[in-house]
Amino acid sequence: MTPETFAAVDDALARWLVPEDAVLRGVLAGADADGVPSIHVSPLQGRWLHVLAKAIGARRILEIGTLAGYSAICMARALPRDGTLVTLEIDPRHAAIARRNVEIAGLADRVEIVLGAALDSLERLRRERVFPFDLVFIDADKARCTEYLDQAVELARVGATIVVDNVVREGRVSDARSTDPSVQGVRRLMERLHAHPRLAASALQTVGTKGYDGFVMAVVER
């Protein structure tokens, strides 16, 4: 099996399972044209997040790491009319692009883009005692993903689902000698999940158009 095979299968699955969508195609094309890093989820992964949000009946979603708004749009489309998605972005330019894309998608009434460092924004949400979230998607810098996880647990309801993306790092997560801050950040995350008293978690390795990686899924318990 080769990366070309993985990408071909990913594309085939997307043709079967991801509906034709001019808005999302426009988001990806616009992101490329605007020079936004191509680190967003793939169409198939975006569809998976959409289906997950529907499956758990999410009414409130928290996303850490907006980029151009692709995954936010995928998840927000699964919300009921009175649902809310709060997404956190540190880069003003990316936040402006995401805001434009959300408006084009007709989701401005359901998506709130919060500009600022994620840990600061999360702490503010805690101080404001916002209504708990049903789904949290963490897709930001991996060096701090353990801190994001801890804050997410405090902001989530019992029974909520937390997903952390890009945790396999092309297999390097198993290398304890790695000096890559992202790898070490994910390893700290795994140790935290292993010992966390309120989380039941598992992980899956993935291949496809985004290469070799994987994600963690956890459920918040009492």
| Helical ranges in 18-137 per DSSP H | 22-33, 43-55, 70-76, 92-104, 118-127
Q: Where are the domains of the chain?
A: 3-220
Q: How confident is the model at residue 174 (pLDDT cuts 50, 70, 90)?
A: very high
Does pLDDT of 135 surpass 90? yes
What φ, ψ does residue 59 adopt, rounded to 5°?
Answer: -115, -25
- Nearest Cα to Cα of residue 135 among 57, 62, 209: 62
* pTM (whole model) above 0.75: yes
93-121 pLDDT per residue, tens? 999 999 999 999 999 999 999 999 999 99
What CA–CA distances, in Å, run from 89 to 25, 139, 187? 21, 10, 24
Residue 83 confidence (pLDDT): 98
Residue 1 confidence (pLDDT): 81
In the predicted model, what is the mean pLDDT of residues 172-201?
A: 97
- For the domain spanning 3-220, the CATH number is 3.40.50.150
Burial 68-87 (b: 16+ CB within 10 A, else e): bbbbbbbbbbbbeeebbbbb
Mind giving me the DSSP string for 159-215?
A: EEEEEEE--SGGGGGG-TT---HHHHHHHHHHHHHHH-TTEEEEEEEE-STT-SEEE
